[in-house]
Chains A and B, each alone.
Chain A
Amino acid sequence: DADVTQTPRNRITKTGKRIMLECSQTKGHDRMYWYRQDPGLGLRLIYYSFDVKDINKGEISDGYSVSRQAQAKFSLSLESAIPNQTALYFCATSDLTGGEETQYFGPGTRLLVL
């Protein structure tokens, strides 16, 4: 079984709709992240959480919100989807050990906003 899972894997929605992307992990990591990937832009950080009570904005948080329901779950919401939020979204987890942090990624959610 995958350590980091994302649901749904694919989603088509209409402009103005609210949608939620979910991420679960079995790695026992405290840190979780949401990124979006766009062609030619690499990965850009949307939000991150270092533990259940800690939520931080990334470089492109506008139009998004998150919820850290438990150590293992970190959800990303688009309150009112718009077409330029069409992208591939990745969840990642990490554990900071001895000053070293490696991130582990889920399989991604491909979102199309019409």
Chain B
Amino acid sequence: AQSVTQLGSHVSVSEGALVLLRCNYSSSVPPYLFWYVQYPNQGLQLLLKYTSAATLVKGINGFEAEFKKSETSFHLTKPSAHMSDAAEYFCAVSDQQASGTYKYIFGTGTRLKVLA
């Protein structure tokens, strides 16, 4: 069954430090993968997406993610954290079902805290 696992419901980093948010998926076929960000009191905003074109995907605000099929991972990184990066981040996977429809599954989210 398709699933998404985000390791660590809370992550704290110092300003300027590397951000690494982990996402592992399970899917029977290569999926489409997404990272969304949710700032306080706002909806989810698409950060980046993997659609099988390139394994290293660059998104907005300096974030990027690498699709690693052998590890079934799609971890989100940013070289240098900024205070404005504090938010909740969701990994999502979408793949085609046997019925031909697409199913979209979200992880449980990782709340990023950036320390001054």
**Chain A residues with a Cβ under 8 A of chain B:** 4, 33, 35, 40-43, 45, 50, 90, 92, 94, 96, 99-108
Contact = CB atoms under 8 A, between A and B. Distances in A.
Contacts of A96: 102
Interface string B3-34: 00000010000000000000000000000101
Contact of B34 (A40, A90, A102, A107): A102
B77 interface: no
A90 B108 contact: no
Contacts of A4: 43
Nearest to B53: A100
B58 to A, nearest CB: 16
Interface in B28-80: 32, 34, 36, 41-46, 49, 51
Contacts of A108: 41-43
